Amino acid sequence: MNWKISLSLGCFILGILIALQFKQQEKEGFPLATYRPLDFIRLVKDSERDRGELQVQVEELRGQLSEYELASRGRGKFSDVLARELQRARMEAGLIPVEGPGIQVILDDSKKRPKPGENDYFFLIHDVDLDQLVNELWAIGAEAVSINGERLVANSAVRCVGPTILVNTKRLSPPYEVQVIGDPDTLMAGLKMRGGFLDAMAVSVAHGIQIDLKKQPKVFVPAYRGPLLFRYASPAIK
């Protein structure tokens, strides 16, 4: 009798918890309920792509480890290994020019004039537009990005300064030519997806903002030419 009472009480409490959880979830909404089959397919493809990229990184790390082991045993030139690592680090930091397949995005202000009472905001390209574009490009796999010849790196900033946009330390004016290295199909699909960059710019495009996207077999992105000064940061010593 005791175990029956305990079991009944446990089931009763569990039922209350499940009901409360369901009501709370119903109030907040079910995140996957609004997904279409194509969205699920995209999620699966994104996961497969991420897994493939991780596998490539693992193989690269294994290759580096083998090089280090051979060099330490005297069967390889340690200076060559270090030179390759330095070149790789410089490329990842954006300190050397790079080229490869990718896309070109050109954005320009509207040629139309605002009518009386219209907000001229939607007739111009703003720093927040370029910021959103760059952030989406990084998120969908861009490996190198430049705007009007200015390479974007970890400490790059895109901000408004009067009628111009400041990228790094250089003032830029429209049209803005964005060169991007990465998988062209993935980059184009990411910018055109529902809720993506082109979706966000739809109102501006309706007011005459010009956005031109093109796949390119070879894109050139120059090296970062700005300052690299660290006054407060230093390598952490464990």
Q: Write the pLDDT tens digit of every residue in 140-172.
A: 999 999 999 999 998 888 988 877 899 988 889
Q: Is the dihedral of CA 182, 186, 192, 197 positive or negative?
A: negative
- Number of domains within the chain: 2
pLDDT at residue number 29: 52
State pLDDT tens for residues 190-199.
999 888 899 9
Q: Do 125 and 79 belong together in one domain?
A: no
Please give the Cα distance from 45 to 49 (Å, whole number): 6
Please report the pLDDT score of residue 68 as a whole number: 63
Residue 139 clears pLDDT 80, i.e. is over it:
yes
Please give the pLDDT value at position 184. 94
Please check the confidence at residue 125 and state whether its pLDDT lies above 60.
yes
Are 122 and 207 in contact by the 8 Å Cβ rule? The answer is yes
Both tokens of 18, joined, read 């499940």
Residue 87 is part of which domain span? Answer: 47-92
Q: Is the peptide bond before 227 cis (omega within 30 degrees of 0)?
A: no
From residue 88, alpha-carbon distances to 53, 64, 84 in Å are 17, 12, 6
Question: Which of 41-55, 92-106, 111-125 is most confident?
Answer: 92-106
Same domain flag for 136 and 54? no
Mean pLDDT score of the chain = 80
Asked, for residue 5, whether it belongs to a domain, the answer is no
pLDDT, average across residues 225-237: 78
| pLDDT for position 43 | 67
Whether 34 has a pLDDT exceeding 60, the answer reads no
Pairing of strands 150-151, 144-147: antiparallel
**Contact by Cβ (8 Å): 183, 141:** yes
Output the pLDDT for position 114.
Answer: 85
Whether 17 has a pLDDT exceeding 90, the answer reads no
CATH number, domain of 138, equals 3.30.70.1880
- 1 located within any domain: no
pLDDT confidence of residue 72: 61
Query: Averaged over 67-79, what is the pLDDT?
Result: 63
Statement: residue 181 has pLDDT above 90: yes
Q: pTM of whole model > 0.85? A: no
* Number of CB atoms found within 10 A of residue 129's CB: 20
Q: Is residue 84 predicted with pLDDT exceeding 70? A: yes
Pair (53, 105) in one structural domain: no
Say if residue 144 is in the same domain as residue 204: yes
129 pLDDT exceeds 90? yes
Measure the CA–CA gap between 35 and 65, rounded to whole angstroms: 43
Within a domain: 87: yes
Residues 178 and 200 in one domain: yes
- What is the structure's pLDDT at 115? 85
Is the residue at 26 inside a domain?
A: no
Torsion, Cα of 86, 88, 90, 95 (10° steps): 150
Is residue 24 in a domain? Answer: no
3-state secondary structure (DSSP) of residue 27: helix
130's CB contacts (< 8 A; 6+ apart) are: 107, 147, 158, 165, 167, 176, 178
